[in-house]
């Protein structure tokens, strides 16, 4: 089939706008009449810097990211950020703790302190207090939690909440906030805003994590790999937001980190590697150090400028399409999701939506198909018939099975409507 005939509901990478790809194809051969392709220009060139700065400015504009945040382009994907968030936020925790201890000791700087006294007080604090809190609501937050345990030791990680015990051992619900067991002064509270595999999305920013009137509050870190650019987010409530580009922003190859500048130097320099070693804590590989990447405007080492360029072109198109920026995209995303869930709910004998209604994802719509009490057969037929109508990529994640319609920004309203018609038709006896 041709590109126009296919509506692809795969979970990622997702389709990119055809006009962006057509222009990118030209830019691969000759970027801006330079005789060199975009992937051939040096990452040290002015072209590269301009592409990065424009993409940063457009992302900040589209999502209303305030000036006290920086935007980093990194490599290593969402999975790399599971490690990067743990490393960097633990470093920031040590820096804060160190300042507290120096104040208690009545000395101005680390150099003025009795080193043995300082290290011993910090060690004690690390042993008794250092915790990373995770809200485990699906496969990706679980993976992030496991990675932190692997890097730091499980004694430093805390599952503040877990969906499985309240949902027959499976993901699909977000436990009541009143039941969450947050640590006293965690290095971060981490959650995944949209669980791609399990179809679970936080309906809104959790109240218990909101900053207080004086601006203080927990350090909140969120993985928005699968729902970024699909709704307005209260950026100022977060210390770090990260996402791979490959679902709602651009092509596979860059990961975006939106980070509050108060976590970077000069406000919060990372502790020295030698101090971290004395404390028995890990330091990040330099390419995962937010401090290093920020200091170099994402060009510490060779970055795929082509991928940043694609993301930038998608953002330019979004800004042109939606004068009210992300609110415009949100209205469409919400509408598409409502249409698809509506069609599923219209045939309760045939379709079983997997997650609880309170936590249904607008981006990854997970359901089971049953006909004549034979789910395997019905789902295989559903996928085969869907594909014959150009509705592809609907197979659920291999770990959970079933059907998953990924309703990313690249799915036009007409694509969602086509799926809706198919859902109704398939349900007919």
Among residues 179 and 399, whose Cβ is nearest to ligand PLP? 399
Burial status of residue 106 (CB atoms within 10 A of its CB: 0-12, 13-18, 19 or more): exposed
Among residues 225 and 407, whose Cβ is nearest to ligand PLP? 225
CB of 221 to ligand PLP, least distance (A): 12
CB of 244 to ligand PLP, least distance (A): 4
Among residues 143 and 278, whose Cβ is nearest to ligand PLP? 143
- The C-alpha atoms of residue 239 and residue 259 are separated, in whole angstroms, by 6
User: Can you spell out the DSSP letters for 67-108?
Assistant: TTEEEEEESSHHHHHHHHHHHHHHHHHHHHHHHHHHHHHT-S
CB of 198 to ligand PLP, least distance (A): 10
CB of 133 to ligand PLP, least distance (A): 18
Among residues 163 and 226, whose Cβ is nearest to ligand PLP? 226
CB 254 within 8 A of CB 303: yes
Please name every residue paired with 131 in a beta bridge, in sequence order, or none if there are none.
none
Among residues 343 and 403, whose Cβ is nearest to ligand PLP? 403
User: Can you spell out the DSSP letters for 272-319?
Assistant: PHHHHHHTT-----GGG-HHHHHHTTT-SS---HHHHHHHHHHHHHHH
Please name every residue paired with 84 in a beta bridge, in sequence order, or none if there are none.
none
Among residues 196 and 270, whose Cβ is nearest to ligand PLP? 196
The half-sphere exposure of 15 on its side-chain side, counting CA atoms within 13 A, is: 21
CB of 235 to ligand PLP, least distance (A): 18
- Please provide residue 73's backbone torsions phi and psi, each rounded to the nearest 5 degrees: -110, 125
Helix crossing, 413-427 with 326-345: angle to 10°?
A: 0
Which chain residues interact with ligand PLP by CB under 6 A? 12, 77-79, 140, 192, 196, 223, 225-226, 244
CB of 196 to ligand PLP, least distance (A): 3
């Amino acid at each position: 089939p041709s590109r126009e005939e296919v509506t692809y509901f795969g979970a990622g990478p997702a389709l990119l706008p055809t006009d962006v790809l057509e222009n990118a194809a030209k830019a691969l051969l000759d970027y801006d009449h330079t005789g060199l392709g975009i992937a051939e220009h040096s990452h040290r060139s002015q072209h590269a810097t301009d592409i990065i700065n424009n993409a940063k400015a457009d992302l900040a504009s589209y999502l209303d990211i305030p000036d006290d945040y920086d935007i980093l382009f990194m490599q290593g994907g969402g999975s790399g950020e599971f490690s990067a968030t743990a490393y960097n936020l633990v470093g920031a925790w040590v820096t804060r703790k160190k300042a507290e201890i120096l104040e208690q000791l009545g000395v101005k700087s680390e150099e003025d302190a009795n080193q043995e006294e300082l290290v011993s007080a910090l060690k004690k604090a690390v042993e008794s207090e250092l915790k990373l809190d995770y809200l485990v609501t699906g496969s990706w937050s679980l993976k992030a939690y496991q990675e932190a345990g692997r890097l730091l030791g499980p004694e430093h990680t805390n599952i503040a909440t877990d969906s499985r015990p309240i949902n027959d051992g499976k993901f699909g619900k977000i436990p009541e906030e009143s039941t969450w067991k947050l640590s006293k002064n965690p290095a971060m509270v981490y959650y995944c805003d949209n669980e791609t595999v399990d179809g679970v999305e936080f309906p809104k920013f959790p109240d218990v994590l909101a900053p207080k009137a004086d601006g203080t509050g927990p350090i909140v870190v969120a993985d928005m790999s699968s729902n970024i650019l699909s709704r307005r987010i209260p950026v100022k409530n977060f210390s770090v937001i990260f996402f791979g580009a490959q679902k709602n922003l651009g092509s596979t190859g860059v990961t975006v980190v939106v980070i509050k500048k108060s976590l970077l130097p000069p406000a919060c320099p990372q502790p020295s590697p030698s101090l971290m070693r004395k404390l028995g804590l890990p330091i990040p590989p330099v390419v995962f150090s937010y401090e290093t990447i920020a200091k170099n405007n994402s060009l510490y080492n060779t970055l795929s400028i082509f991928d940043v360029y694609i993301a930038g072109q998608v953002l330019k198109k979004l800004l042109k399409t939606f004068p009210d920026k992300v609110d415009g995209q949100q209205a469409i995303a919400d509408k598409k999701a409502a249409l698809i869930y509506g069609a599923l709910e219209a045939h309760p004998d045939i379709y079983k939506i997997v997650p609880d209604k309170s936590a249904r994802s607008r981006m990854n719509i997970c359901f089971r198909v049953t006909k004549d009490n034979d789910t395997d057969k019905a789902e295989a037929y559903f996928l085969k018939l869907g594909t014959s109508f150009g509705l592809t990529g609907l197979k659920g994640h291999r770990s959970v099975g079933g059907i998953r319609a990924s309703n990313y920004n690249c799915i036009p309203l007409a694509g969602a409507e086509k799926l809706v018609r198919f859902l109704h038709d398939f349900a007919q006896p």
